[in-house]
Amino acid sequence: MLVGAEFFRCHKSYIINLSKVIEYSRKDGGCVLLNKDMEVPVSKERKKELLNKLNL
């Protein structure tokens, strides 16, 4: 229901706002850091698409 390129489902349980991503980490299979306290896992199936959207 969320429209636009700002949001991305990085895991079956998580939808993130791409403009809030601080960094991508490869630890534990991959996760994104949204602020100093919040890490969100990235599924293996969605990792490549996320990296493309973040231009990494």
Q: Contact, 19 vs 49, CB < 8 A? A: no
**Residue 4 confidence (pLDDT):** 67
- The arithmetic mean of pLDDT across residues 8-15, rounded, is 94
Query: What are 27-52's pLDDT values in tens digits?
Result: 888 999 998 889 999 999 999 999 99
Measured distance CA(10)–CA(29) in Å, rounded: 12
Question: Long-range contacts: 19-25, Cβ < 8 Å, 24+?
Answer: 21/54, 24/50, 24/51, 24/54, 24/56
